[in-house]
Structure 1
Amino acid sequence: MKSKFSSKDRELLGEIIKNMTLYGYKREDVAVMLHISATTLGRRLREPSTFTVAEVRTLQEKLNIKTENII
Structure 2
Amino acid sequence: MTGDFMEVTVDQVKCVGAGQCVLVAPEVFDQREEDGLVTLLDPAPGDHLRAAVDEAAALCPAAAIRLEGPR
Bin the TM-score by the shorter chain.
0.3 to 0.5
Higher helix share: 1
TM-score by length of 2: 0.38
TM-score by length of 1: 0.38
